[in-house]
């Protein structure tokens, strides 16, 4: 059958290839350590699950308002106000089927054919894909560990032209774990506002921060910035609720209303039961969040230290999220078994074959010098996995 050109824009992912290979190895009975996970390994907290069970038993199992129930919108407003002093009206909030869906709706309603969208790399894989699907042109700004994986103001200015409509920010970042300070954001905001850009601010890892670092949403930096920003968040990462599919945005009323119309003609409301659970996540005890973050921080400290001790690996120390993004480019040109490693996909295949460790090649995130390792796995597996990586790279020559 002849596909629409829209469908042809969708690229197959290198990650799927690696995941399939890892699966095949596991089927052979080989114990593969999986560092690919993009979700917390903890169970959803008990209080949240209990509310969901009650919602089912109480028959809260029908369609709801398209953009989410009032209780959840109120909980989102309350949490943004309590955490950050941000003030939103219900008409500025929409709940969708995960933050990925929020971003999809958002890109569909604000990006037109030919609009340029600035995306700092390394980026979350779905940004360029969603921008392209909306007919926009992703304009990538490369960043490296030298600048802490942050965009340089001058480079941002250079990329902006008449066609630039949107700047996408993600802090703390997947895949680098880097985040922006208030000072960094002030500089970026000023440039974006001067050029009349819309800022999409993906803050899904806002609570997963280390070393006493605090999170500042860019929307807190003044009314102008707030009016130009759509803040995107969700419960997936903070509350270990990836499967529940609840994401949301806060921002411009007209944009929110357009997203709601699109959602009304596509998915309708997010799952009723999950919405009730999300109210509890936001309003109930936050003790489990602190516990999870403390555990992540221990793993982060361990994995960063260990990786930096591996010869020829350089690993930026993340400030948030649950990934490390080590630079493995010093292995390029080296080989094993007659095969030469030339890029992040080759290195990923090498690790899978020789170390029985699965990671994600950096090229997926727009940087071929790196691989992404998720530490949303047990400390025991982290130790075993890093031991194996250390041993395997010794074979490279
Ligand atoms: C996981 C993730 C999302 C989407 O999460 P949902 O499960 O769809 O809410 C969005 N942005 C980034 C950077 C992520 O890592």
Which pLDDT value is given to residue 19?
A: 79
Dist. CA 100 → ligand 1 center (Å): 6
The pLDDT confidence band at residue 380, using thresholds 50, 70 and 90, is very high
User: What is the rounded average pLDDT of the residues 106-111?
Assistant: 98
| Mean pLDDT for all residues in the chain | 96
Dist. CA 204 → ligand 1 center (Å): 6
| Structural domain 5-43+288-393, CATH architecture | Alpha-Beta Complex (3.90)
Q: Which two tokens stand for residue 285?
A: 């005890």
What is the pairing mode between strands 323-324 and 247-250? unpaired
Each domain of the chain, given as residue ranges in start order, spans: 5-43+288-393, 62-283
Fold of 62-283: 3.40.640
Contact indicator for 182, 225 with CB cutoff of 8 Å: no
Rg for the chain (alpha carbons), in Å?
21
Element (H, E) at 392: helix 379-393
Which pLDDT value is given to residue 323?
A: 98
The residue to mutate among 76, 97, 99, having the most atoms of ligand 1 within 8 angstroms of its beta carbon, is: 99
Question: What are the angstrom distances between the C-alpha of 178 and each of 111, 144, 156, 199, 209?
Answer: 27, 11, 17, 18, 10
Upstream peptide bond of 175 is cis (omega within 30 degrees of 0): yes
Model confidence, pTM: 0.97
Contact indicator for 36, 358 with CB cutoff of 8 Å: yes
Question: What are the angstrom distances between the C-alpha of 263 and each of 92, 93, 109, 241, 319?
Answer: 15, 13, 11, 21, 34
The pLDDT confidence band at residue 38, using thresholds 50, 70 and 90, is confident
Q: What is the pLDDT of residues 319-340, one digit of tens each?
A: 999 999 999 999 999 998 889 9
Which pLDDT value is given to residue 7?
A: 86
Whole-angstrom distance, CA of residue 306 vs CA of residue 313 = 10
Whole-angstrom distance, CA of residue 306 vs CA of residue 177 = 17
Which pLDDT value is given to residue 180?
A: 98
Question: What are the angstrom distances between the C-alpha of 315 and each of 130, 227, 328?
Answer: 29, 37, 9
Q: Which atom of ligand 1 is nearest to the CA of 202?
A: 11
Which pLDDT value is given to residue 369?
A: 98
Which pLDDT value is given to residue 11?
A: 77
Which pLDDT value is given to residue 10?
A: 81
Element (H, E) at 33: strand 33-34
Question: What are the angstrom distances between the C-alpha of 223 and each of 10, 86, 104, 252, 298?
Answer: 37, 10, 25, 12, 38
User: What is the rounded average pLDDT of the residues 24-41?
Assistant: 92
Answer yes or no: is the C-beta of 170 below 6 A from any ligand 1 atom.
Answer: yes
Q: What is the pLDDT of residues 270-317, one digit of tens each?
A: 999 999 999 999 999 999 999 999 999 999 999 999 999 999 999 999
For the chain, helix (H) and strand (E) counts, in that order, are: 14, 14
The pLDDT confidence band at residue 6, using thresholds 50, 70 and 90, is confident
The residue to mutate among 100, 242, 281, having the most atoms of ligand 1 within 8 angstroms of its beta carbon, is: 100
Dist. CA 99 → ligand 1 center (Å): 5
The residue to mutate among 237, 248, 321, having the most atoms of ligand 1 within 8 angstroms of its beta carbon, is: 237
Dist. CA 390 → ligand 1 center (Å): 31
Answer yes or no: is the C-beta of 374 below 6 A from any ligand 1 atom.
Answer: no
Q: Is the pLDDT of residue 119 over 90?
A: yes
Residue with tokens 């670092």: 213
Answer yes or no: is the C-beta of 292 below 6 A from any ligand 1 atom.
Answer: no
Q: Which two tokens stand for residue 56?
A: 């089912």
Answer yes or no: is the C-beta of 274 below 6 A from any ligand 1 atom.
Answer: no
Q: Which two tokens stand for residue 171?
A: 């802090």
CA angle 242, 180, 235 (to 5 degrees): 15
Dist. CA 123 → ligand 1 center (Å): 12
Q: Is the pLDDT of residue 15 over 80?
A: no
Q: Is the pLDDT of residue 12 over 80?
A: no
Dist. CA 231 → ligand 1 center (Å): 13
Query: Can you tell me whether residue 315 is helix, strand or coil?
Result: coil
Which pLDDT value is given to residue 81?
A: 98
User: What is the rounded average pLDDT of the residues 54-76?
Assistant: 98
Q: Which of 205, 191, 232 is nearest to 104 (CA)?
A: 232
User: What is the rounded average pLDDT of the residues 213-230?
Assistant: 98
Q: Is the pLDDT of residue 123 over 90?
A: yes
Q: Which of 68, 63, 65 is nearest to 93 (CA)?
A: 68
Which pLDDT value is given to residue 337?
A: 85
Which pLDDT value is given to residue 182?
A: 97
The pLDDT confidence band at residue 155, using thresholds 50, 70 and 90, is very high
Dist. CA 244 → ligand 1 center (Å): 12
Q: What is the pLDDT of residues 237-248, one digit of tens each?
A: 999 999 999 999
Q: Which atom of ligand 1 is nearest to the CA of 247?
A: 9
Dist. CA 376 → ligand 1 center (Å): 15
Which pLDDT value is given to residue 102?
A: 98
Answer yes or no: is the C-beta of 122 below 6 A from any ligand 1 atom.
Answer: no
Which pLDDT value is given to residue 197?
A: 98
Q: Which of 284, 232, 226, 201 is nearest to 96 (CA)?
A: 232
Answer yes or no: is the C-beta of 100 below 6 A from any ligand 1 atom.
Answer: yes
Answer yes or no: is the C-beta of 120 below 6 A from any ligand 1 atom.
Answer: no
The pLDDT confidence band at residue 22, using thresholds 50, 70 and 90, is confident
Which pLDDT value is given to residue 307?
A: 98
Whole-angstrom distance, CA of residue 56 vs CA of residue 53 = 5
Q: Is the pLDDT of residue 122 over 90?
A: yes
Top-confidence residue, 170 or 19:
170
Dist. CA 380 → ligand 1 center (Å): 26
User: What is the rounded average pLDDT of the residues 249-265?
Assistant: 98
DSSP 39: S
Alpha helices in 148-195 (DSSP H): 153-159, 182-194
């Amino acid at each position: 059958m002849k596909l629409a050109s829209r469908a042809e824009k969708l690229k197959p992912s290198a990650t799927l290839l690696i995941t399939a290979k890892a699966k095949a190895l596991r089927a052979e009975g080989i114990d593969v350590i999986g560092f690919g996970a993009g979700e917390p390994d903890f169970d959803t907290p008990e209080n949240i699950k209990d509310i969901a069970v009650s919602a089912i038993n109480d028959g809260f199992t029908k369609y709801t308002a398209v953009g989410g129930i009032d209780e959840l919108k109120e909980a989102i407003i309350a949490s943004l106000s309590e955490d950050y002093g941000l003030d939103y009206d219900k008409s500025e909030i929409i709940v969708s089927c995960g933050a990925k869906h929020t971003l999809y709706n958002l890109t569909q309603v604000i990006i037109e054919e030919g609009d340029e969208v600035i995306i700092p790399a390394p980026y979350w894989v779905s940004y360029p894909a969603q921008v392209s699907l909306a007919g926009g042109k992703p304009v990538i700004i490369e960043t490296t560990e030298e600048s802490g994986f942050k965009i340089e103001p001058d480079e941002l200015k250079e990329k902006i032209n008449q066609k630039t409509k949107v700047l996408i920010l993600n802090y703390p970042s997947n895949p680098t774990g880097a985040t922006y300070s208030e000072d960094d954001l002030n500089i970026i905001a000023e440039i974006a506002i001067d050029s009349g850009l819309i800022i999409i601010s993906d803050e899904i890892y806002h609570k997963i921060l280390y070393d006493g670092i605090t999170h500042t949403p860019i929307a807190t930096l003044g009314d102008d910035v707030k009016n130009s920003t759509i803040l995107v968040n969700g419960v997936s990462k903070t509350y270990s609720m990836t499967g529940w599919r609840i994401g949301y945005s806060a921002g411009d009323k007209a944009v929110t209303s357009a997203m709601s119309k699109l959602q009304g003609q596509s998915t309708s409301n997010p799952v009723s039961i999950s919405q009730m659970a999300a109210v509890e996540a936001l309003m109930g005890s936050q003790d489990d969040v602190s516990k999870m973050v403390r555990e992540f921080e221990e793993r982060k400290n361990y994995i960063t230290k260990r990786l930096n001790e591996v010869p020829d690996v350089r690993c930026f120390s993340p400030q948030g999220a649950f990934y490390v993004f080590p630079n493995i480019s010093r292995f390029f040109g080296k080989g094993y078994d007659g095969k030469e490693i030339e890029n992040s996909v080759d290195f990923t295949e090498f690790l899978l074959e020789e170390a029985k460790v699965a990671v994600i090649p950096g090229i997926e995130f727009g940087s071929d010098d790196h691989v992404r390792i998720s530490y949303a796995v047990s400390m025991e597996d982290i130790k075993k996995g890093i031991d194996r990586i250390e041993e395997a790279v010794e074979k490279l020559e």
